[in-house]
Amino acid sequence: MHPLVQPGPELTADELVRYDRQLLMPELGVEGQRRLKAARVLVVGAGGLGSPVLAYLAAAGVGTIGVIDADRVDTTNLHRQIIHSTQAVGTAKVDSAAARMAALNPLVTVIAHDEAFTATNAAAVVDGYDLVVDGTDNFAARYLVNDACVLAGKPAVWASILRSDGQVSVFWAGHGPCYRCVFPTPPAAGEIPSCAEGGVLGVLPGVIGTVQATEAMKLITGMGEPLLGRLLIHDALTQQWQTLPVAADPDCPICGEDARIGEVRAITGTTDAAQEAGISVRELRQLLAEREAGRQEFALVDLREPAEVAVSQIEGSITVPKSLLDSEEAALPAGRLVLYCRSGARSAAVLQRLRRAGRTDVEHLEGGILGWQHAAGTDRP
């Protein structure tokens, strides 16, 4: 693989000292370090995956690192998003990350994009960088990253994590498959849980994110063999790794022979947003008050698993886990229902299913229990 980036200026005395152990590697050397110095890398997401990627790329001397994220640091992030501190709770993730990176290595330049990565800005943001590291946590954003990179002719170092499992690959149309070649269609709403719904082992983003950082450095310098055409899969509970071959799809709608996608556009119908409108926290509170007064009759149904319910639950709920509904081991009660889960994805999926079956007496809580707790001023999960 040819190096992605041409060597930059000669290394300064400070840089020679700082990167001494790296410079000793024959595969890298001074020239490779100069390539890192000249490189411009965009990291999409300053969360679990982005944390180790940003820290290690900064420490390694990547000259310009952009980070784009519109989120604020939350207490529930801290068990895995190690670039942020307790003191940073409530601040912009990009600012928190930039401050930590500057403390790690003041010789690199950090560009903080305090905004969401969207179909509107994706092409313009990606245009300013040599490669992109995808640290997003939802399908809609992954397709956006892929499409922006394909249309710009740039590689994307992708990864995905859930619970104790992780996957990593390098997608680069023209050199191997793109993300759409391997994952041609997004899953239906509620089909695959997000980390907010399904949980994630705190150390897993560190394991997978450092692989992403390694792949970025390999692409920049030409070291080794990147994960082009290979999908690396990790099971943290058995501590096993396996590699699966993946190939470009000649019928891919964006990089295939008859490509049909010529611009970055938003992806809909994924697990990332409830597709059914629901009731607000305020409306649910009113309903609960009216039920207490005997003016309303409905069941408030918690679709989460017992382990989630043990942490917190909206008072007055009954528990019917979605997993039991899916396996037909449980059924919902008759009459009017208000469903909720953690973030709204599972309840939206069940609502869609019930509406298709003809039930019109069912609603769901937008934002789930997270929205309920946010309105109450608590960040308990």
Give the CATH number of the domain where residue 67 resides.
3.40.50.720
Dist CA 234 CA 212 (whole Å): 13
Query: Strand, coil or helix: what is 93?
Result: helix
Give, for 231, the enclosing helix (H) or strand (E). strand 230-235
What is the number of alpha carbons within 13 Å of residue 276 lying toward its C-beta? 27
Cβ–Cβ under 8 Å, residues 34 and 9: yes
Q: Which of 181, 195, 252, 255 is catalytic?
A: 195
Q: How many domains does the chain have?
A: 2
Question: In terms of domains, do 231 and 178 share one?
Answer: yes
Q: Residue 276: what pLDDT? A: 58
Q: Is residue 3 part of a domain?
A: no
Dist CA 220 CA 37 (whole Å): 10
Q: Is residue 157 part of a domain?
A: yes
Q: Residue 46: what pLDDT? A: 97
Residue range 293-303: average pLDDT? 95
Question: In terms of domains, do 175 and 219 share one?
Answer: yes
Dist CA 11 CA 33 (whole Å): 8
Structural domain span for residue 165: 13-245
Dist CA 350 CA 123 (whole Å): 35
Q: Is residue 7 part of a domain?
A: no
Question: In terms of domains, do 215 and 345 share one?
Answer: no
Instruction: Give the distance between the most distant pair of CA atoms in the chain.
Output: 78
Q: Residue 374: what pLDDT? A: 83
Is 149 labeled as catalytic in the residue annotation? no
Question: In terms of domains, do 43 and 185 share one?
Answer: yes
Q: Which residues pair with 230 in a beta bridge?
A: 245
Q: Is residue 258 part of a domain?
A: no
Give the amino acid at 126. V
Residue range 152-174: average pLDDT? 97
Query: Strand, coil or helix: what is 357?
Result: coil
Q: Residue 190: what pLDDT? A: 58
Question: In terms of domains, do 191 and 302 share one?
Answer: no
**Res 271 pLDDT > 70:** no
Q: Residue 266: what pLDDT? A: 85
Dist CA 366 CA 52 (whole Å): 32
Q: Residue 128: what pLDDT? A: 96
In which band, very low, low, confident or very high, does the pLDDT at 334 lie, cut at 50, 70 and 90?
very high
- Supply 110's token pair: 């950090």
- Among 174-188, 231-245, 253-267, 348-362, name the most confident range: 231-245
Here the CATH number for the domain that contains residue 340 is: 3.40.250.10
**Res 371 pLDDT > 60:** yes
Residue range 298-317: average pLDDT? 94
Dist CA 96 CA 104 (whole Å): 13
Q: Chain-wide mean pLDDT for the chain?
A: 93
Domain boundary among 245, 271, 295: 245
Q: Cβ neighbours of residue 161 under 8 Å, at least 6 residues apart?
A: 48, 49, 167, 195, 200, 204, 205, 208
Question: In terms of domains, do 303 and 239 share one?
Answer: no
Q: Which residues pair with 235 in a beta bridge?
A: 165, 240
Q: Give the residue from 41, 61, 31 showing the smallest Cα distance to 223.
A: 31
What own/partner pairs with CB < 8 Å and gap ≥ 24 does 284-288 have? 284/314, 284/338, 284/365, 284/372, 287/338, 288/316
Is 341 labeled as catalytic in the residue annotation? yes
Name the pTM for this structure: 0.82
Dist CA 2 CA 185 (whole Å): 31
Dist CA 15 CA 18 (whole Å): 5
In which band, very low, low, confident or very high, does the pLDDT at 381 lie, cut at 50, 70 and 90?
very low
Q: Is residue 263 part of a domain?
A: no
Q: Is residue 51 part of a domain?
A: yes
